[in-house]
A and B are shown apart, each in its own frame.
Chain A
Amino acid sequence: MNKDIPNSSIRAVEARGLEKTFGEQRALRGVDLTVSRGECLVIFGPNGAGKTTLLKILSTLVKPSAGSVRLDGIDIRDKPAQIRRRISLVGNQTFLYDNLTVYENLKFYGKMYDVADLENRIREVISWVGLESRLHDRAGTLSRGMQQRASFARAVIHDPSILFLDEPDVGLDPHASAMVSDILGNINSGSRTVVMTTHNLERGVELGDSIAILDRGKVVYQASREELSKADFRQIYDRYTETGR
């Protein structure tokens, strides 16, 4: 699926001067962001910081008011359909159809993405998320945690090279939330690039190769994991999200 990705020196995600306004409100105020291939960038920020808007722009769902985004070296405005083959998004909404079984949901999305050998692919992704026994149950009958696992299976059915995760652990109990990390480990064993937003500082720092803090529509802090410790990060987060208040 990813064989047509351009050469490896190109950044997986490259956003320059991203701005987004909704009426009078400026949700993003010039966001610059680069993520290397296979890297996991975790973005933190308070509610209303612009995290979801940023991920929606990166995943082609929303057009920016200004600025540019290149994914795998391709400008998202030029070839949106080609870009969409390479990306996926998991939010706190699962995009699943409650009245279809997990299998039917995966088959639907697999066909929409022209996934080859779909039956085997469904078996593969469903084993990654540990839902084999519930494959033929209706999505609406699953618990919230299980639905989110099915959503992860849905998201990787077409083997995207870039995965956007928008607070995927919201509404999950601690056990299910921890499982999200395990699933990320399973589905990310290759060279998938991940951009994730979360409020869970500890888990985010654990998962991320690099960390960014978004506040009031701007990236106010960015560092690699090696540059900080979990203990320090809480203080850093508090300091940067209080800036100017």
Chain B
Amino acid sequence: MPEANVLPDATTTDGALLVLAIVSPAAGVLLSFVLGGQYAERIAAVLLPSGLFLASIIFVDVWRSGDRLIYIVGDWTPPLGIALRADGLSAAMMMTMAIVICAVAIFALADFGTRAGSAEARAPFAFWILLMAIWGAMNMVFLGGDLFTLYVAIELLTFAAVPLVCLDGRAETLQAALRYLLFALLGSILYLVGTALLYGSYATLDIVLLSRRIHMEPATLVAAALMTIGLFAKTALFPLHLWLPPAHAGAPAAASAVLSAVVVKGSFFIVVRLWFDVMPGMLGPAGAQLFGGLGAAAIVFGSVVALQQQRLKLLIAYSTVAQIGYLFLMFPLALDTVSAELQSSGALTGGMLQAISHATAKAAMFMAAGIIYAVLGHDRIAELGGVARAIPMTIFAFALGGVSLIGLPPSGGFLAKWLLLEAAVATGQWWWAIVMLAGGLFTSGYMFIVLSRAVAPSGEPLKPRVAVPRYQEAAALALALTSLLLGLVAFGPVDILQAGRLESMLVGPR
């Protein structure tokens, strides 16, 4: 194969930041175990904001230079060594996840913070460690430059996410966690089979090298199919979504927010890496339509089931199933009709923007649901009456999150759906446009059900069971506002998503 035209992969200036983004959460986790108890919270309180700072430096770096940050670990170049790469997609996703995780951490101070003088408990200790572990694993997913590193990253993510589901140790949540773990194990082992086959065929798993060597043959197809099915199971794409609603609805509010907003995006991101970066020419029209079809089925199924839910958290969880569907609509829309290759076009930007706006909106909605649960002592939708008067800020945050999910301007959801619709019109695939618009109608349906109950007057004035700290409501509202104002990035850094993309590296001398 033409090894000669391989670009020299060398560590760029600031490349060491990428290592820091992975190592500092890992150090935080280990240090928490060593020091134990209440130190976990203090370590997280230092590390999470510095993680946000780090992500913004990387974001600005990639945006300014329009090129990737690269770090070659130990100066061993691929295929023998491991490269960490941050392109526009990684930088944007890292930034989003850092924002969401910091907001969740502020929210969680009320539930998992240890008061001075009180005895240390296991749940808070586990929560802060797992939160840092999720942050580190997500960074590894975004920066990993070869498919095996991504495998390790997605496993770390699973191992951090599963215990979050059963933090309270009730039997139902244990069952949900076990079911989640079983789905995830099957997914990861299928992915691993795929990496073995790919390495056997091409003797490298490095994304850049592999994308140059890979070609259509039976082993590649089998590997791609197995890896994709495995990742679909972890992303909870219909029909492999069965584990998601009980797991996400049963977890404590702060954990639900992380699981729904952050964790499912990890495996989705690897799907994008696999098909857009490693083998853009292999999906083909039939495969792209299949991905889109599964996404459309997820939208319809998730929305219809969400409409029937009696409990708020389950409704939000099923809404996640539906919103994951939108992410997969970008595959048929990004397929170039002439070259039959997946292009890093407006559809990719739209899809990633959908992932980002869903992350912020859904985290805000789960936090709002957690506050509602704390105030009312239940989350039955039929009995929400009067809650809007008791906690107006929370209901406002919930509604703003819904605005982004529906896709009303100027929200991030609007810009994402606009880009996807534009691609659907440009490529003449009107059927995806119908699915998207129908999904928007469904979403407004279940948002209306919840909000109309929440603002309905109740017989007697509602007495909150607990006083909700103001900063908890503020964290939810801040995330919802972020999601709402995300549409304004159309005037700003939306083109970062195209920065340092692989195709632009391949064509033209640099």
A and B: interacting chains: no
A residues contacting B by CB (< 8 A) are none
Chain B positions near chain A (C-beta within 8 angstroms): none
